[in-house]
Amino acid sequence: MKPRLKIAHLPTPVETLPRLTAELNGPHLMTKRDDQTGLAFGGNKTRKLEYLLYAAQAAGADTLITAGAVQSNHCRQTVAAAARLGLNCTLIVVGDPPSPPDGNHFLFHLFGAELVFAERDAVQAKLVEIDQSLCAAGKRPYLIPYGGSNPTGALGYMKAMLELAKQDAAPDWIVFPSSSGGTQAGMLVGARLSGFQGKILGISVDEPGERLKARVAELASETARLIGQTDTFTARDVLVNDEYLGGGYAVMGAAEVEAIRLFAECEGLLLDPVYTGRAGAGLIDLVRKGFFKPDETVLFWHTGGGPALFASKYQGQLLGYA
């Protein structure tokens, strides 16, 4: 097993969702609470950062660089981890900064990040530019990819599947939001290692299904090789549903609003407008369509994101006045 820093609160609990199950008259619903990983309001990126930050420290880094949207959960957890370890952190942020800062963007400032705003198609060039400028200034930067999604980061969810195997849960399905691919790739590798017999279904947040399947398969194969496994994965091994893309990335529609309100009112569980809200909407629709068998157990893997609820752009929709 590859070394990691132990910064997450693990294992995260598995809980039943009895009132949501009854409300939807569907299969037995459960949740894996990775919104409780502990670092800066938690979330799935903390598992990835345990491995990525070990690699950064091993490389002698003094500065982390990464990129994400203006309400990025990944950026929030990365800069919080940098603060905890005494590292500098530069974030390349896509989107217009809210004024005053709110949600995750507020937390970027609170944790002491240096923010650089860029257009989406200029992010990669800006990452290279900042990396080079820091090196020229005598710094030792470490670049963390978007979403922490490379083979090193994916190890976090390989280990998460081994963790799930030790808990009192044997779901027929795991449903969760999938975007940059690292979470799903790690799950696939961990599923093979643990002998998991269920199905792993990613609800795409922003990518066409075939593109996301190819990315996840390639990343899963690379992750397996990183730990000395000979397994390979193809797009046929990856389950993705891309029917819930709605108005696009970070655009909250009626389906996401319903999911957020239903999870909150039935279970006291907070989803976010971008990732878990969209995956929750997909789960609700699939249950209503009869996609799952009545006697199956479906585990909703909660990947976090709660601070985005406090972005003013979403509050009016959620409270019904916008």
Contact 46, 37 (CB under 8 A): yes
Choose, from 72, 178, 179, 204, the residue flagged as catalytic: 72
Residue 180 is among the residues annotated as catalytic for this protein: no
- CA quadruple 317, 21, 172, 300: dihedral sign: positive
In this structure, how many other beta carbons lie within 10 angstroms of the beta carbon of residue 247? 9
Residues involved in catalysis: 72
